[in-house]
């Protein structure tokens, strides 16, 4: 029950941010892909089952909001949640570099997939490429920074099962 | 494969399979599902949260806008005096020419609560719905120009299909020359508003204003839509490709107005 409530709250916060605070930035061409960010963070924290479920629920909600092409966000975010969840067993999840790379890749894949439904023809590729790269470049460092701040504020690892090995004094 | 993977991974793989199948099913037939009710429920849940998130932004903007609007009000008062006399003259001339009178637009103020769509918003949630006499098909505008039309009306909220929705089409005319065309949003090769169906023989110039023509009867005539930004040829070479810069700042919407449809128009498909 607690897990369901957490998923619902996180989904609502994500969609709220997407439809209010981030729309002005997105309309200027800088998409902060909060859907990919939330899915990656959830999957890193809760593994592949949690990541898949969260990605699917978040995707369905985003699809309903968009009113076109139902299922496009749900499919990809579920896949992203699963993949990141699987990878998180072998990666050092508290490493900023890992987080940055995962967020960049997730954003690029998600944006390419979402844009593929909107853009048609080879002539749209330059704009598509620009949008996807800009989104990746904006989301990955910002997301990593946010995770770093959250880690500092909470004073503990966000992804407790794979903390970085602490340096011991020699 | 099920026998090779450990139980936890089998469970997650099965979960992914189920979710992927549902998503694919939705992709194929999702557009036929009645999702309007769910969106209405979503709008109802999100409305108070949107207001909380937007509160600080709106307060700061209101402070700035208040100063600008005071100056603008004084300017408009003067301009209004001039327009009143011009309006009386116009009405008398239309009567002499047996032309129908211009309709008086009844504006209903609304708040824009949320925008949908990345990177270009394609829909907006408004703070008024069917209980406030906002109906499907009503035009939505800002002080700068046309936003779109109400696509779904919930009890206390409504959803505007913006000009930037790929399914939106607005019958327009170029001011002063009367050149007619249909305004649509195109994603390729880059997102932009295009006035289509303008023959090469028609004269259109960069900087001219584009208004609703009233020919489709979905929108009243004379609402500003945008300004001609650039001209080109469409791929067939038979028509002009007129790019239009929208008059309304679609990326930064706070308030707007709904114009109710006139009675004969309501109920049109």
DSSP-assigned beta bridge partners for residue B150: B160
More confident residue, A25 or B170: B170
Indicate whether A17 pLDDT > 80: yes
Residue A128 to residue A115: CA distance in whole angstroms = 7
Chain A hits for B163, CB-CB cut-off 8 Å, are: none
Bin B262: left if φ > 0, else alpha if -120 < ψ < 50, else beta.
Answer: beta
Q: With an 8 Å Cβ cutoff, are B23 and A78 in contact?
A: yes
Q: Whole-prediction pTM value?
A: 0.69
The full 3-state SS of chain A, as one line of letters, equals: CHHHHHHHHHHHHHHHHHHCCCHHHHHCCCCCCHHHHHHHHHHHHHHHHHHHHHHHHHHHHHHHHHCCCCCHHHHHHHHHHHHHHHHCCCCCCCCHHHHHHHHHHHHHHHHHHHHHHHCCCHHHHHHHHHHHHHHHHHHHHHHHHHHHHHHHHHCCCCCHHHCCCCCCCC
Q: How far is CA B54 from CA A7, A17, B122, in A?
A: 23, 10, 19
Residue B7 to residue B248: CA distance in whole angstroms = 56
The predicted structure's pLDDT at residue A77: 94
More confident residue, A2 or B228: B228
The predicted structure's pLDDT at residue A124: 72
Chain A hits for B25, CB-CB cut-off 8 Å, are: 71
**Interface probe with A: pick from B19, B250, B254, most Cβ of A within 10 Å:** B19
> In the predicted model, what is the mean pLDDT of chain A?
84
More confident residue, B155 or A19: B155
Q: With an 8 Å Cβ cutoff, are A64 and B35 in contact?
A: yes
The predicted structure's pLDDT at residue A161: 54
Task: Note whether B60 contacts A: Cβ–Cβ < 8 A.
Answer: no
The predicted structure's pLDDT at residue A162: 46
Chain A hits for B248, CB-CB cut-off 8 Å, are: none
CB-nearest partner of B119 from A12, A16, A26: A26
Task: Note whether B41 contacts A: Cβ–Cβ < 8 A.
Answer: no
Domains and CATH numbers, chain A: 2-158 (1.10.1760)
Per-residue pLDDT tens over the stretch A31-45:
889 999 999 999 998
Q: For every one of its 269 residues, what pLDDT tens digit does chain B have, with 9 covering 90 and above?
A: 445 666 767 788 898 999 999 999 988 887 778 888 888 888 888 888 887 877 777 787 888 888 888 888 888 888 888 888 888 888 888 888 877 776 677 888 898 888 887 778 889 999 899 998 899 999 999 888 899 999 999 988 999 999 988 888 999 999 888 899 999 998 777 788 999 888 888 888 999 999 998 887 788 888 899 999 999 888 778 888 899 999 888 877 778 899 887 655 444 44
Q: With an 8 Å Cβ cutoff, are A16 and B50 in contact?
A: yes
ipTM tops 0.85: no
Q: With an 8 Å Cβ cutoff, are B27 and A70 in contact?
A: yes
Per-residue pLDDT tens over the stretch B84-107:
888 888 888 888 887 777 667 788
Residue A71 to residue A64: CA distance in whole angstroms = 9
Task: Note whether B118 contacts A: Cβ–Cβ < 8 A.
Answer: yes
Distance from CA of B155 to the nearest CA of A (A): 17
């Amino acid at each position: 029950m607690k897990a369901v409530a957490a998923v619902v709250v996180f989904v609502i916060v994500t969609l709220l941010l997407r439809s209010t605070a981030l729309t002005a930035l997105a309309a200027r061409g800088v998409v902060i892909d909060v859907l990919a960010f939330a899915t990656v963070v959830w999957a890193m924290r809760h593994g592949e089952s949690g990541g898949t479920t969260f990605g699917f629920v978040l995707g369905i909600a985003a699809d309903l909001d968009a009113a076109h092409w139902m299922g496009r966000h749900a499919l990809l975010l579920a896949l992203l949640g699963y993949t990141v969840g699987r990878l998180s067993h072998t990666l050092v999840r508290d490493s900023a570099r890992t987080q940055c790379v995962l967020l960049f890749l997730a954003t690029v894949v998600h944006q390419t997939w979402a844009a593929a439904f909107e853009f048609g023809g080879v002539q749209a590729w330059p704009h598509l490429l620009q949008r996807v790269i800009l989104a990746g470049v904006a989301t990955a460092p910002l997301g990593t920074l946010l995770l770093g701040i959250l880690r500092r504020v909470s004073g503990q690892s966000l992804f407790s099962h794979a903390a970085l090995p602490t340096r011991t004094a020699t | 494969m099920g026998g090779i993977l450990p139980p936890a991974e089998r469970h997650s793989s099965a979960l992914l399979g189920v979710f992927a199948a549902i998503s694919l099913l939705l992709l194929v037939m999702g557009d036929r599902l009645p999702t309007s009710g769910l969106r209405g429920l979503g709008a109802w849940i999100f409305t108070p949260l949107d207001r909380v998130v937007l509160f600080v932004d709106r307060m700061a903007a209101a402070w700035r806008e208040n100063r600008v609007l005071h100056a603008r009000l004084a300017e408009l008062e003067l301009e209004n005096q001039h327009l009143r006399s011009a309006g009386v003259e116009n009405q008398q001339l239309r009567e002499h020419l047996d032309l129908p009178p211009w309709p008086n637009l009844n504006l209903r103020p609304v708040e824009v609560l949320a925008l949908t769509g990345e990177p270009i918003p394609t829909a907006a949630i408004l703070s008024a719905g069917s209980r406030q006499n906002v109906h499907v098909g009503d035009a939505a505008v800002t002080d700068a120009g046309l936003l779109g039309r109400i696509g779904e009306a919930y009890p206390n909220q409504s959803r505007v299909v913006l000009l930037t929705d790929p399914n939106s089409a607005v019958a327009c005319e170029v001011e002063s020359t009367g050149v007619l065309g249909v305004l649509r949003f195109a994603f390729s090769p880059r997102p932009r508003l295009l006035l289509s169906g303008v023959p090469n023989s028609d004269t259109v110039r960069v900087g001219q204003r584009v208004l609703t023509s009233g020919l489709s009867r979905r929108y009243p005539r004379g609402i500003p839509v945008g300004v001609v930004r650039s001209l080109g040829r469409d791929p067939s070479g038979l028509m002009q490709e007129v790019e239009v810069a929208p008059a309304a700042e679609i990326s930064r919407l706070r308030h707007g107005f709904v114009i109710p449809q006139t009675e004969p128009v309501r109920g049109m498909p």
